[in-house]
Amino acid sequence: MNSLDRRTFMSTTLGGLSMFATGTLLLAQDRDAKADAEGKPNTLFLTWQRDPTTTMTVQWIAPAADEGATVDFAEFGKAGATQSVATKQTPYPMTNLRVFRAELTGLSPGAEYQFQINKKGPAHRFRTMPAKATDSFQFVSGGDCDVNEHAIANNILAAKQNPMFALIGGDLGYDNGISVERSLAFLRNYSQHMIDAEGRLIPMVVCIGNHEVKGSYGQSRKESPFYLAVHDGLYAERTFATLDFGDYLSLILLDTGHIAPIDGEQTDWLDKALAERSERPHVIAVNHVPAYPSFRKFEAEGGKAGTGELNRTQWVPLFERHNVDLVLEHHDHTFKRTHPLKDGMVNANGILYLGDGSWGKLRSPASPEQRPYLAKTSEAYHMTLHRFEGEQRFHMALQENGRVIDICTTQKRPRRVAGRKGL
């Protein structure tokens, strides 16, 4: 595995871990106003609402701008006209701040761009995803971040891998739908540290977790004010979605019952979404609460369902029917890798489930001896680097200090066009 040579990899990941900063839980709107006036808002981050090969969404949170705000952008290192996009301003809940959003469209795939806010301050850079998966690309994933020193350590470690994006499977800043301070601290930490070795901002893709919602489960959209204030571009009407990268990668981003029920509409949608992507080389499902937990109870107990029981009855059969390539899970605050699973049993032709959300939170997991579906577990703050090379995928779990916890591979799974259930 030359592209992921362990010695080289370790030498590039361990450096810079002494650069920790302390996340703040103070709501300092004066500081935000000063930073924004200088054209460098400290909550600046990138995400996507549509195809990442040709678009990019620029967002930040700052005091309202009566005169409006613009994002001026051009392809980096090439002579050509600069384009300007006006931002939309929407309220940031429980504050007098505003969310500024500008979607840049018509971009060239596999290209690098630079942009500037209000024609002042520093020029920021980003890159679009390639048009085709002919070259290798990589991204990082994890979940359950918080705003502590471990989250910052993993931010720094993740950025040093030069990922094309970061995929966060819920429980971002632990704002619980009520804490302005934590919601902003998460964005400040991300904005400060999630910049790759070439100085490019790393886009964020997320799905919802219980700590984005006041009440955690079975709530309405209004109980997730901060999360939806900045991520309603992708989740405008529903809190589950697909994000398609050209014609080669699809992320299936799910809501494990926090706002949208698992069964019913979401399961019907999932069946259809997977069937429509039967020709995609890479299909990855992402959910917060795991179908195969590494810490919480698997079996029903005391009249309560086991963790992930609805996932297993409603979603796992669809993952298997449509041959999903990989499922990323979170919520339990451990590192885990399952065996390939089919019908809940170890099967060489089954699906791998990776997790379990310990970017900044930690618990002691069950062992593989205790739960036979688990192949490996570890009590470690971690994130995972995913590298795609043609039809093969490498998955390297890294502890916050850069130590390699686990390496595994998955290959493209053959898919067939499957009819929807009941047809």
- Dist. CA 227–CA 149, nearest whole Å: 22
Locate 160 and state its tokens: 């040093």
Residue 186 has pLDDT above 70, yes or no: yes
pLDDT score of 179: 98
- Dist. CA 211–CA 224, nearest whole Å: 9
Q: Which domains does the chain have, with CATH numbers?
A: 29-127 (2.60.40.380), 137-411 (3.60.21.10)
Higher pLDDT, 361 or 301: 361
Cα 169 from chain centre:
5
Residue 269's pLDDT band (boundaries 50, 70, 90)? Answer: very high
Q: Number of helices (H) and strands (E), helices first, in the chain?
A: 8, 23
Edge to edge, the sheet with strand 70-75 lists 83-86, 70-75, 112-117, 120-127
Name the percent of the chain lying above pLDDT 70.
89
> 50-66 pLDDT, tens per residue?
999 999 999 999 999 87
pLDDT score of 9: 39
pLDDT score of 36: 55
DSSP codes, 191-217:
HHH-B-TTSBB--EEE---GGGSTTSS
Locate 96 and state its tokens: 């007098």
Cα 354 from chain centre:
14
Find residue 141's DSSP bridge partners: 167, 384
Locate 416 and state its tokens: 């067939």
Cα→Cα distances 412→37, 168, 389, Å: 48, 23, 11
> 92-146 pLDDT, tens per residue?
999 999 999 999 999 999 999 999 999 988 999 999 999 987 778 999 999 999 9
Q: Residue 275: in which H helix or E strand, if any? A: helix 265-276
Residue 35's pLDDT band (boundaries 50, 70, 90)? Answer: low
Q: What is the mean pLDDT of residues 40-54?
A: 96
> 198-229 pLDDT, tens per residue?
999 999 999 999 999 999 999 999 999 999 99
Lowest mean pLDDT across 4-18, 168-182, 270-284, 400-414: 4-18
Residue 356 has pLDDT above 50, yes or no: yes
Residue 37 has pLDDT above 60, yes or no: no
pLDDT score of 286: 98
- Dist. CA 88–CA 2, nearest whole Å: 45
Contacts of 365 (CB under 8 A, 6+ apart): 294, 295, 332, 334, 335, 336, 356, 374, 377, 378, 379
389 contacts 130 by C-beta, under 8 angstroms:
no
The 3 state secondary structure assigned to 303-357 is: CECCCCHHHHHHHHHHHHHCCCCEEECCCCCCEEEECCEECCEECCCCEEEEECC
Q: Taking all residues of the chain, what is their mean pLDDT, rounded to a whole number?
A: 90
392 contacts 133 by C-beta, under 8 angstroms:
no
Residue 10 has pLDDT above 70, yes or no: no
pLDDT score of 345: 96
Which pTM was predicted? 0.90
Find residue 404's DSSP bridge partners: 398
> 363-394 pLDDT, tens per residue?
999 999 999 999 999 999 999 999 998 888 99
Residue 21 has pLDDT above 60, yes or no: no
pLDDT score of 412: 80
**Cis bond leading into 30, ω under 30°?**
no
- What stretches of 22-86 show up as alpha helix (H) in DSSP? 29-37
Residue 87's pLDDT band (boundaries 50, 70, 90)? Answer: very high
User: 341-342 and 345-346 as β-strands: parallel, antiparallel, unpaired?
Assistant: antiparallel
Tokens 């910052």, residue? Answer: 152
How many other C-beta atoms are found inside a 10 Å radius of the C-beta of residue 63? 18
- Dist. CA 59–CA 237, nearest whole Å: 19
